[in-house]
Amino acid sequence: MPYYPEVATIQGLVRVIRERRLPSEAVPRPTHTISNAPVEAMQVILEGDVYREFRIIDVGAALKARRKENVADMIEVDAGQQVQFGHELARRGRGRRARVLHSPADGLIVLAEDRRIILQVSERAIEIQAKIPGQVQEVEPHLVRIAGSGALIQCAWGNGGFCYEAFRFLPEEGFVKLSKLDVSISEYRQMVIISPYPINKGDLLVAQQQEVAGVVAPSMSSDLREFAMGLKFPVILTEGFGQRRPTTLIYTLLQSNMGRQAAFNAAAPDRWSWERPEIMIPLPTGGSTPPTPALDQALQVGAQVRMTRAPWDGLTGEVVELPPAPQVIESGLRLPCARVQLADGQARLIPLANIEVVG
Amino acid sequence: MGFENINSVLVADIGSVQTRLVLIDLVEGQYRLVSSSRARTTVEPPLANVSLGLEHAAQAMTERIGRQLLSPEPDQVFMIPEAGGHGVDEFLATSSAGRPMKVFLVGLTPEISLLSGKRVLAGSYVTVTNTLSPDDRRTEEEQINAILQDDPDLILIVGGTDDGADDILLELVRIVRTALSLVMHGMVPSVLFAGNQALRKQVRNLLAPLTSVFFAKNVRPSLEDEQLFPAQIELALVYDDYRSRSTGGFSEVGRQSQVGVVPTTQGYISAIRYLGELPQKGVGPLYVDVGSANSVVVAGVHKEPHYNIRTDLGVGHHIVQTMETITLDKLRRWLPFEIDDEALWDYAHNKQLHPATVPGTPEDLMIEQALAREIVRLVVDEARPAWGLGEGDLLPDFRPVVGAGAILTETQHPGMAAMLLLDALQPTGITDLYLDPHNLLSALGVIAYLKPLITVQALDAGGLVNLGPAFSPLGRVRYGRDAIKVRIQHPNGQVFNHVVKGGEIWMAPVLPGVTADVRIRLRRGLSINGKQRLRMKLTAGAAGFIFDARGRPLAMPRQKDRAERFQQWLLAMTGRDAGPSVAGAGTVTEDAGVMDDDLELELPADMEEETAHALLS
């Protein structure tokens, strides 16, 4: 019976296609991004404004207009017009005795009629970066699609940060060694630090003090989420929370590309978002187009998989058998399983639900 | 095809984690559950198209039964109607997946109309963002911001008795109109009006130019009457409309179904309404579903369905919120091993990262089963006032009790599933326990709207898993003292005698489907339906017969005894304990458990009915 597992891409060279979107509530600004143009990872490709609160402005009262006066004629803005703080909205009279109503905030005029103006206040401006270097494929008001090539490592959690920097591994002595370095001459400054061991709060403080560009580690305590979210540099967890073993495949891939620049997108978890935390290392393709990871394929014997739950979490292996009937696993549950040969040569029964294909 | 002429129905339930398919077909003149299958739900990015998961589940079913279901036509998902043994006559869909619908509620009075409005919404996957009523002291500007600030998907307007005062409600509708007229980007919320019916035309004139307006009968036609059903039905249509406008591919699925995509809970409610109409003992049926993102309890109390949905409680997508809500101390009451707070939180956050995964170790399974117990307890506690119960009152005599959701239906052993239900609900008396592993009740509930005969026959044909009857005496027990003396006589004359001690639970090893003569005698202070001796013929379920002598209210072991006691319960309910002695007919092997052969048993007054019911089940 076919089973379609989740896919986590951990590949040395793939074609990466990513859609960057403005949030649905944002009003897009005119974009300068054009199709087929090359983009850098840090380049802003979409801009927009989010409008929230409405202000109802009684124009007649503000301008002290008499009841008989036609206030609508005093209004100088139209619905749909964007205004800045202090922009003239309405005027009564002329010369020095004129009364002028100014906009109390940046925003969008949504209604201008009779005796009132309704202004929707601009809450924030949004800039969306490409987050991978590549070529623009498609541009829409709310969306830009980009394609690039390189190594791709999809991870478990991110603190919302992003950077495009070179990376290197933590010294053998760990963050303790790092803490003793002189920041001004440290070779780790403005580099992304790869730690193959779980990290703690002290490690993150050292990273902050050493002005690193980012941190990648297998895991940390879930208690540190809030703290990590407050850091200015990206923090990416490849496995999850607690003391998790690192996926060897990931760290080997990073090791083999050490010193290169890479896009570290520590996208915060959101089940409805199209972004997930990932590391993309741009690589030359030699003129050919590498394959795009398949997202929806049935699990088959021979597939490379990673286990996502204890007791085998973080281990990778190859599917050697797909038993037709459910099997009893260590927890006592009887579930559809795959027999997976791990790196140590042992074949283990793993529930299909706890497997993701290394796409 | 008219629904009266159909033979086969394929029903999909698209949950947050699993997409389940059930095929009901006419077999030898009776509608039966013919096959079921499931696949991973594909509602979230990067796939963001529920049709894919549906197709995977259909492929799995085809592989199992050799019946082609998927259509080769590009604009049609399924082969409809059935022809040459392939395809189906009808396809229906329910769903609890996707983002809950955000609803802004407008009403005249907080105590009456807003309360009724909330009851209408309680049957669907919604989040109430805010409310508005005439006694609202906010300025017009603040009210408009309140309406729009959370981008509601729906504005539900209730209030006013039919032909009653209308000016105040119309004023609220005008505020809604102003708010809707200001929406310049994003989706304009739909409106469902279920208030004073005399205002329909004015409401349509005011709001229809701005958005989709749905109408339902007044939830409060008079101050004394409350009618929620018409508004719930209309809400189901609004939900379908919302789903089809949202991302996730629901529109394509909805187009294949005659009734669109119905909220799963609406299916449950309809099924419970139907079950409540059947002649049976007790106050009515009880259905509990613990999902990954939502948890639901639907109870038929004296033929009236009551329901409660928590869109923030579940053992997968919402496990972190669930643990925050129920607190770790309550969770630990069900854990026979030591685990610190940090490890529990790490567990929850990891599970939330991979909500579709299943426990791989016994400890992980215990954590999730502990959560399931507490979720059911919490949702049932919240539903109690609607059932007429106060705090601390024991659960009424619900029959049957049905559990759904993978955490309840996929356990190490059927006995464990039974124990989870008993722990969470703590019923008293004799409770018929069932599981619904395919979410069949939701499917049959939707079908009941269209062709009730299918619902009747498919339920009779045993679409649910019968766990068996559970005996839970009322009263406090003393640990280790004799509590229930049990004598079970098989049809072949074989006899079991067993004494269930205080603090124990025992699963009598009787094969499913075997009808046996069961006699029990309770120690002083314990009773079932006011009796201390009972004799009846009962049919065993997948968990045989269950005897719960842990007391009601359930006496939880002290912390120092917890590990040992849980281990005993676990062994007893997973069938790995020593069990009772099996003796030939007429022989007795356990002195303490001897039930005098000449014992005069007090039979409950309703004994015959009880036996009949048990045999039917």
**pLDDT tens digit string along B290-333?**
999 999 999 999 888 888 899 999 999 999 999 999 999 999 99
List strands edge to edge, sheet with B154-159: B126-132, B101-106, B154-159, B190-195, B213-215
Bridge partner list, B309: B296
Q: Map out the domains of chain A with their CATH numbers.
A: 6-43+130-282 (3.50.30.10), 49-124 (2.40.50), 304-358 (2.30.30)
CB contact under 8 A, A80 and B410: no
B142: contact with A, CB 8 A cutoff: no
pLDDT in the model for residue A95: 86
In one letter, which amino acid is B97? A
Among residues of chain B, what percentage have pLDDT more than 90? 71
In angstroms and rounded to an integer, the radius of gyration of the C-alpha atoms of chain A is 27
User: Is residue B247 very low, low, confident or very high in pLDDT (cuts 50, 70, 90)?
Assistant: confident
Asked if the C-beta of A332 comes within 8 angstroms of chain B's C-beta atoms, the answer is: yes
Option in A1, A53, A120 nearest B60 (CB): A1
Q: Is B181 on the interface with A (CB under 8 A)?
A: yes
Cis peptide bond upstream of A311, omega within 30: yes
Question: Average of pLDDT values for B597-611?
Answer: 34
Nearest CB to A354 within list B186, B358, B410: B358
Q: What is the mean pLDDT of residues B50-66?
A: 95
Per-residue pLDDT of A269-325, as tens digits, reads: 898 888 999 999 999 998 899 999 999 999 999 999 999 999 999 999 999 999 999
pLDDT of B163: 76
State the best of B353, B416, B567 to mutate against chain A, taking most chain A CBs within 10 Å: B353
pLDDT band at B594 (very low <50, low <70, confident <90, very high): very low
Is B410 at the interface with chain A, CB within 8 A?
yes
Residue B235 has pLDDT above 70, yes or no: yes
* Confidence category of residue B612, pLDDT binned at 50, 70, 90: very low
Question: Which residues from chain B sit within 8 angstroms of residue A329, using beta carbons?
Answer: 360
d(CA A28, CA A25): 9
| DSSP letter, residue B393 | P
What the block records as the tokens of A243 is: 């003391």
Query: What is the spatial distance between Cα B418 and Cα B411, in angstroms, rounded to a whole number?
Result: 10
Contact state of B64 with A1 under an 8 Å Cβ cutoff: yes
| Residue whose C-alpha is closest to residue A257's, from A315, A216, A198 | A216
In angstroms, what separates the C-alpha of A329 from chain B's closest C-alpha?
Answer: 7
From CA A163, how far away is CA B503, in angstroms rounded? Answer: 59
| A237 close to A219: Cβ distance less than 8 angstroms | yes
Q: What angle do CA B36, B44, B435 make, to 5 degrees?
A: 30
Using DSSP bridges, classify how beta strands A278-282 and A116-129 pair: parallel, antiparallel or unpaired.
Answer: unpaired
Catalogue all structural domains in chain B, each as residue range(s) with its CATH number.
3-97 (3.30.420), 101-245 (3.40.50.10700), 473-617 (no CATH)
C-alpha B269/C-alpha B442 separation (Å) is 8
Of B201, B183, B370, B396, nearest to B285 by C-alpha is: B396
Of all residues in chain A, what percent carry a pLDDT higher than 90?
Answer: 86
Position B587 pLDDT exceeds 60? no
- Cα–Cα distance between B335 and B20 in angstroms, integer? 31
CB A51 within 8 A of CB A174: no
**What span, in angstroms and rounded, lies between the C-alpha atoms of B251 and A237?**
36
What single-letter DSSP state applies at residue A42? T
DSSP-H helix ranges across B149-198:
167-181
Average pLDDT of the residues in B358-372: 97
B138 contacts in chain A (CB < 8 Å):
none
The residue with greater pLDDT, B520 or B277, is B520
The better pLDDT of the pair B122, B8 is held by: B8
Helix (H) or strand (E) holding A253: helix A248-256
Q: Is pLDDT of B578 > 70? A: no
CB B434 within 8 A of CB B467: yes
Give all strands of the β-sheet with A337-342 in edge-to-edge order. A6-8, A355-358, A304-307, A316-321, A337-342, A347-351
Residues in chain A where the model's pLDDT stays below 70:
none
Whole-number average pLDDT of chain B: 89
β-strand B101-106 against B154-159: which pairing, if any? parallel
- Which tokens go with B218? 């007044």
Q: Which residue, B416, B432, B308, B313, is CA-closest to B369?
A: B416
Is the distance from CB of A58 to CB of A90 less than 8 angstroms?
A: no
Which residues fall within 8 angstroms of residue A158, CB to CB, at 6 or more apart?
A: A234, A235, A236, A237, A265, A266, A267, A268, A269, A277
Query: Above 70 in pLDDT, residue B611?
Result: no
Q: Which tokens is B205 given?
A: 């004139």
In angstroms, the separation between the Cα of residue B575 and the nearest Cα of chain A is 12
Chain B residues in contact with A157 (beta carbon < 8 A): 353
Does A201 lie at the interface with B, CB-CB under 8 angstroms? Answer: no
Complex-level ipTM: 0.93
Q: What share of chain B is helix, strand, coil (3-state, %, to 5)?
A: 35, 25, 40
Which of B95-99, B149-153, B349-353, B609-613 bottoms out in mean pLDDT, i.e. has the lowest? Answer: B609-613
> Taking each helix axis from N to C terminus, what angle separates B414-425 and B559-573, rounded to the nearest 10 degrees?
140
- At B154 the pLDDT is 97
Burial (CB count within 10 angstroms: exposed 0-12, middle 13-18, buried 19+), residue A40: middle
Identify residue B365 by its one-letter amino acid code: L
Is the model's pLDDT at B1 over the cut of 90?
no
B408-454 pLDDT, tens digit each: 999 999 999 999 999 999 999 999 999 999 999 999 999 998 899 99
Q: A245 in contact with B at a CB cutoff of 8 Å?
A: no
Three-state SS for A37? Answer: coil
Write out the H or E segment, with its range, that includes residue B457. Answer: helix B452-460
Chain B nearest C-alpha distance from A284 (Å): 26
Selected residue of A223, A271, A330, A356 to mutate for chain B interface (largest B Cβ count, 10 A): A271
